[in-house]
Amino acid sequence: MGFSTTAIHAGQEPDEATGAVTVPIYQTSTYAQEGLGKNKGFEYARTQNPTRFAVERNIAALEGARFGYAFASGMAAIDATLRLIKGGEHVIVSDNTYGGTFRLFTKILSNYGLEFDFVNTSDVSKVEEKLKPNTRMVFLETPTNPVMIVTDLQAVSYVAHAAGARVVCDNTFMSPYLQRPLDFGVDIVVHSTTKYLNGHSDGVGGVVVLNDEEDANWLAFVQNSAGAILSPFDSWLVLRGTKTLALRMEQHDRTGRAVAAFLEEHPAVRKLYYPGSLSHPQHEIAKRQQRGFGGMVAFDVGSLDAARTVFESVKLCTLAESLGGVETLISHPATMTHASVLPETRARLGITEGLVRISVGLEDTDDIIADIDQALAKIE
């Protein structure tokens, strides 16, 4: 079956009781039981909820996975995934990730004996160098937030598996329409559903999908025991979102290409970060493992003053954190999403004070470009 057919139908049968074609929002905390130990498979809503089950099955199908677990946020999904690692074990992480991921690993999980090494995973030899006998996970983001570094999923999976480590990929920037990491040997995919999967900037959520049954059972246990579940309403919003995922991603991708081409030629733009550009260092890898390049584009205008001018001059683009929604959002990684990353790391990665990130929305392409054009023209 094709992607959109799966998106519209997987995990969703017409409601048995009424025939409702849309999975209802089962807004209940508990379920009546017929007798002790006699129930319909639903006991308590932290453990089981039909709306959440539907979105979990839906996203698992889109990623080509057997199991899926939905959480209250992308960070909750990542936190649950790291519960596969025990104190004394080692994790290799892409050195540019969403700032919140870096913060969770370095400020919280490292207090519990988990050991982290951050490397540029676009260079597979750097991953190999850091592998140790106690390495149990390689955590990738590709393309990375916000400087769009691309990691070769197949090459890293190969070396990690040879060393007995699982590979996790945060696929938030691509969505399963543009990239399916499990097809390249990755073991576990995480998403912030807050972004493209929901797609409308109206819900926070996260999901983990995977094939390994033992790891899946542990994640289900963590989901129920720690309890950071996705609510029925938010599950329903994500289900509504994935139905149009293919159409939305096609348009995000089209406009992303046009915006990047415009920026690449603009004299005020010192550097462009976009894997679709022929000058991107991992352009060929991106072409091989992605169906397109998506709607995320970052560019450097050289100084905080210039960036501020852009933020204060845009009229259509909205200055805000987050991405992947229908409206174009523009943000300043250095002070917003990546404020918790050490200044020297930010400098090394290119997250300068002049870096601007755009999540191109679904407005008309010409309107988005015209807005950025008039804002860039205000830079002195």
Residues that bind ligand P1T (CB under 6 A): 73-75, 98, 100-101, 141, 145, 170, 172-173, 192, 194, 204, 206, 321-323, 337
DSSP at 107: I
- How far, in whole angstroms, is CA 182 from its chain's centroid? 15
- 352 CB-near residues (< 8 Å, 6+ apart): 300, 334, 346
Nearer to ligand P1T, 313 or 322 (CB): 322
Catalytic residue among 69, 98, 196, 274: 98
Catalytic residue among 52, 166, 195, 346: 195
CA contacts within 13 A on the Cβ side of 40: 6
Catalytic residue among 79, 95, 152, 170: 170
Question: Sign of the C-alpha dihedral, residues 210, 211, 214, 216?
Answer: positive
What strands lie across the sheet with 355-359, from one edge to the other?
A: 271-273, 296-300, 355-359, 329-331, 318-319
Active site residue 202: no
Nearer to ligand P1T, 172 or 277 (CB): 172
Q: What residue number has its CB nearest to ligand P1T?
A: 74
Tokens 């293919």 correspond to 246
Active site residue 98: yes
Nearer to ligand P1T, 206 or 276 (CB): 206
Catalytic residue among 46, 126, 254, 271: 46
Active site residue 195: yes
Please state the closest distance from residue 330 (CB atom) to ligand P1T, in A. 11
Tokens in use for 211?
């094939």
Please state the closest distance from residue 331 (CB atom) to ligand P1T, in A. 6
Q: Give yes or no for a cis peptide into 333 (omega within 30° of 0).
A: no
Please state the closest distance from residue 322 (CB atom) to ligand P1T, in A. 5
Residue 69 bridge partners (DSSP): 208
Active site residue 46: yes
Across the chain, where does the E strand assignment appear? 67-71, 90-94, 115-119, 135-141, 166-170, 188-192, 206-210, 271-273, 296-300, 318-319, 329-331, 355-359
Nearer to ligand P1T, 141 or 152 (CB): 141
Nearer to ligand P1T, 67 or 173 (CB): 173
CA dist., res. 298 & res. 358, Å (int): 6
Nearer to ligand P1T, 62 or 268 (CB): 62
Tokens in use for 77?
């999904």
Please state the closest distance from residue 329 (CB atom) to ligand P1T, in A. 8
Please state the closest distance from residue 107 (CB atom) to ligand P1T, in A. 15
**Residues with catalytic annotation?**
46, 98, 170, 195
